[in-house]
Amino acid sequence: MIGSLFSWIADPAHWSGSDGILNRLLEHLWYSVLAMVLALVIALPLGLYIGHTGRLRWLVTATNAARAVPTLGLLFAFALWLGPSLRGDLAFLVPATIVLVLLAVPPLLAGTYAGVEAVDPAARDAARGVGMTGWQVLRQVELPCALPLVMSGVRTAALQVVATATIAALIGLGGLGRLLVDGIAFGDYPQAAAGALLVAVLAVLLEGLLALLQRRLVSPGLGGGRGAVGGSRNDDDAAAAEANARMPVGPGGMAGGNS
């Protein structure tokens, strides 16, 4: 099976054309990037606002609780609801994008909120003491200090979106999930295994790129620039633990929502 898998991937005929690996990879990246951009537009400003003002904290708990809803069920629900009112590829692209955005928003919102909320109050007081406005405090003090947790949320959301974007193929879209669905449907198991392997490799590469980006953006004094890329997992685990600890307490006394 392993030999058949790599033989299938190495076959040049499987890399060209509309059904080729390259085109499916580009489609997968398009779905993922579109969802991440929309999720960042929604979650980043909202998380900064909640962390800066302390208002609407219940939204962080609510969005995390929404993660318990099955993604596949949401996909079919939105496809059946929105599909008949849309035309062409939008009938499939819009439902898939909505589901991926809903998947990406909770970690982005929680990381951004926790990062801003965790800023030392003394730093805020000092900034206001030198005459900074609320916007200046947010932009020049809180956001730079919050970057480790913000980037932790970005990395978590990006990996979840890339891995889950395969379900777009179940409602007629492309992407690497098409290799999985078609491979299983036609009994071409090397193709299905190749699709799974390519998604895993893409996720690993994305994690490495985001780790490098985090090292460039985060000040070394905040813990985001120490060590090699492969050795930054302790910092990420600590950031994730701090984000979870600072999330609002929901019903039952548990922090945040379901993970």
Q: Domains of the chain: which residue ranges?
A: 2-250
25: left (phi over 0), alpha (psi -120 to 50) or beta: alpha
pLDDT tens track for 157-182: 999 999 999 999 999 899 999 999 99
The CATH homologous superfamily of the domain defined by 2-250? MetI-like (1.10.3720.10)
Question: Using 50, 70 and 90 to split pLDDT, how confident is the model at 231?
Answer: very low
Q: Is the pLDDT of residue 234 over 70?
A: no
Q: Using alpha carbons, select from 182, 177, 145, 181 the residue that is nearest to residue 161.
A: 177
Dist. CA 9–CA 186, nearest whole Å? 17
Return the beta strands (E) in 129-171 as ranges.
Answer: none
Average pLDDT of span 175-192: 92
